[in-house]
Amino acid sequence: MDTLAASDLLLFVNAAITATGQREFRGDAGHQRLSLDFLHSYIVGNYRDLYAATLALDINDHNAVLIVANLLDSPGEVSPDERRLEGRLIAARLALLPPQRVYDLFRTLRRSRVNNRLTRAIIRDWLAARPDPAFDAVKYRGAVKEATRHAHLAPPGELGPFLFARRHNRYSTAILDSWRRAHYEKAAVYELPFTVAEGFAARHGIDRALFLERATPTMTRLERLRLQGVADRAGIDVAVDLTAMPLTRLASYVLSLSLDDRAARRTELTGVLRAAARRVAGRHAGRWGRVVAVLDDSFSSIGSTQKRRRPLAVALAAHFLLEALATTYVPLWTSGRTDALLLYPYGATPLGERVLDGLEHAPERLLIVSDGWDNAPPGLAAEVLRVWRARLDPERRTAVVHLNPVYDADDFDVHRLSADVPTVGVRDAEDIPALVEFAQFASGAGELDVLRSYLTQRTALFLGESV
């Protein structure tokens, strides 16, 4: 039973890292959502304590929200001590989530009529910790109103009249009064958060190019990225600060540029990618020894309309991170190309050939970043790894880990390359150091007590406690 429990939890962790309920290259969104809903129901029903502990791992935001919703839906099923621990895990995780996701969660809880004492306390404390409640009230007005009502809260100061009064008089809080004036004064539109200002601009019939030019100072980094193409076509300079961008998001941005743009900006883009990778590597930079990476840039790395080029972006970000972590580093792309900055999804997936090439370098670590669909020829990579482990490296001098960025709804897991090497899901390349550590549990030898100990340590670190 312990082996089954460990296997079930590892299956769920891989799904919680990679699956987002969106379309993948080989699967539609509806199928993935059904698969994911089943996994969540199964794990919370059978291993609730372990299910809650996964909030301390590097799971994606989509699954973090689902876990929180499921835990809050039935807090009475656990002891008071366990409920307190769940509450702390939930509060710590919500503090890391983008505010729009948290407000969407609160709306979901209201629609589902989840309104127990723990839920109200979570909403109350999260709203109280927001750095600028007035800004939230303007940007997420409907959601703040619903959350306040659902938790039976009395908004402080002018927020109550702003959210619930039928008529609005002057406010002493600047952003609230800017919202009031924006109903009839065009100049006030540019004092509001960009997404709110867009609605007022449309209402006033403000020219789109003029609006973008004047609203640029209020845009967030993601809004600038989203609108850069539109702004360029309108001849407007929407500067994007690449130096502070996370590594995987930066890789996605680079891949969104044309090949000509990437070539023209080679020095700049390579510099910011390497700087981002060094930030992630931190004190581990240059300490991973001889590393070979087999990186998938086959046609399937194009992803889907909802996750465009996401698998290739993870591979590109992993390339720069592993370069920073390694003492010596050899990248092997499935296409055979060597210029990482000019990659694009193309061709079949000859993973077996590339794994053979990689093992010839006698690395200390071989990392494979791929969706695992080895098809040129099919199954060669699994056979190469089996023979390597059984006959050439039974002492496991080379550590091999398969990192898969794509969820396979049919298997309720990421697609595994071989039974002889551990496979873990990966969402962002930034998580690779922690995932390589976690891979020791994904080898199929799952010992539940060891896995529990690891989760206990991660939970303590996540909650800021001494281990």
Residue 309 placed within a domain = yes
Separation of alpha carbons 244 and 219, rounded Å: 15
Sign of the torsion angle spanned by Cα atoms 447, 39, 65, 250: positive
Separation of alpha carbons 185 and 366, rounded Å: 61
423: helix, coil or strand? strand
Q: Work out the end-to-end distance of the chain between its first and last CA atoms, rounded to an integer number of angstroms.
A: 28
Higher pLDDT, 332 or 74: 332
Closest Cα to residue 308, out of 227, 363, 234, 253?
253
Q: Do residues 319 and 295 lie in contact, with contact meaning Cβ atoms separated by under 8 Å?
A: yes
The CATH number of residue 323's host domain is 3.40.50
- Could you write out the DSSP letters of every residue in 109-135? HHHTT---HHHHHHHHHHHHT-S-HHH
- Binned at pLDDT 50, 70 and 90, residue 100 comes out as very high
Q: Cβ contacts of residue 202 below 8 Å, gap of 6+?
A: none
Tell me the residue range of the domain where 339 lies. Answer: 265-446
When mean pLDDT is compared across 11-20, 65-74, 315-324, the lowest value belongs to 11-20
Cβ atoms < 10 Å from Cβ of 22? 18
Cβ atoms < 10 Å from Cβ of 441? 22
CA 403 to chain CA mean position, Å: 15
Q: Supply the pLDDT for residue 231.
A: 59
- Could you write out the DSSP letters of every residue in 314-360? HHHHHHHHHHHH-SEEEEEETT----GGG----S---HHHHHHHHHT
Q: Do residues 17 and 424 lie in contact, with contact meaning Cβ atoms separated by under 8 Å?
A: yes
Q: Do residues 224 and 239 lie in contact, with contact meaning Cβ atoms separated by under 8 Å?
A: yes
Mean pLDDT, residues 177-183 taken together: 95
Angle at CA 353, nearest 5°, toward 321 and 427? 35
In tens, the pLDDT along 380-399 reads 999 999 998 888 888 889 99
Q: Supply the pLDDT for residue 391.
A: 87
Residues pairing with 369 in the sheet: 295, 403
Q: Do residues 197 and 190 lie in contact, with contact meaning Cβ atoms separated by under 8 Å?
A: yes
The pair of structure tokens assigned to 24 is: 């993948």
Separation of alpha carbons 349 and 32, rounded Å: 23
- Binned at pLDDT 50, 70 and 90, residue 4 comes out as confident
- Binned at pLDDT 50, 70 and 90, residue 232 comes out as low
The pair of structure tokens assigned to 62 is: 């989509």
* Number of separate domains in the chain: 1
In tens, the pLDDT along 236-288 reads 666 677 888 999 999 999 999 999 999 999 999 999 999 999 999 999 999 99
Closest Cα to residue 241, out of 261, 268, 214, 206?
268
Separation of alpha carbons 428 and 416, rounded Å: 18
Separation of alpha carbons 4 and 370, rounded Å: 26
Mean pLDDT, residues 278-307 taken together: 93
- Phi then psi for 170, rounded to 5 degrees? -65, 150
Separation of alpha carbons 289 and 208, rounded Å: 53
Q: Supply the pLDDT for residue 237.
A: 61
- Binned at pLDDT 50, 70 and 90, residue 211 comes out as confident
Rounded percentage of the chain residues whose pLDDT exceeds 90: 69
In tens, the pLDDT along 443-456 reads 655 578 888 888 99
Answer whether residue 413 shows pLDDT above 90: no
Residue 290 placed within a domain = yes
Residue 319 placed within a domain = yes
Q: Do residues 74 and 115 lie in contact, with contact meaning Cβ atoms separated by under 8 Å?
A: no
Closest Cα to residue 386, out of 421, 436, 414?
421
Q: Cβ contacts of residue 423 below 8 Å, gap of 6+?
A: 14, 372, 401, 402, 403, 404, 414, 415, 416, 417, 442
Burial of 106 (0-12, 13-18, 19+ CB in 10 A): buried
When mean pLDDT is compared across 120-124, 370-374, 417-421, 425-429, the lowest value belongs to 417-421
Residue 394 placed within a domain = yes
Residue 296 placed within a domain = yes
Helix crossing, 2-18 with 29-46: angle to 10°?
140
Residue 347 placed within a domain = yes
Q: Supply the pLDDT for residue 162.
A: 94
Separation of alpha carbons 254 and 88, rounded Å: 38
Average pLDDT value over all residues in the chain: 91
Residue 133 placed within a domain = no
Q: Supply the pLDDT for residue 273.
A: 97
Q: Supply the pLDDT for residue 233.
A: 63
183: helix, coil or strand? coil
- Phi then psi for 291, rounded to 5 degrees? -120, 135
Mean pLDDT, residues 411-425 taken together: 87
Rounded percentage of the chain residues whose pLDDT exceeds 70: 96
Q: Supply the pLDDT for residue 376.
A: 83
- Count of helices and strands (H, E) across the chain: 23, 7
Residue 227 placed within a domain = no
Model pTM score? 0.90
Closest Cα to residue 50, out of 6, 1, 105?
6
328-333: strand order across its sheet: 328-333, 290-295, 365-369, 399-404, 423-425
In tens, the pLDDT along 309-365 reads 999 999 999 999 999 999 999 999 999 999 999 999 999 999 999 999 999 999 999
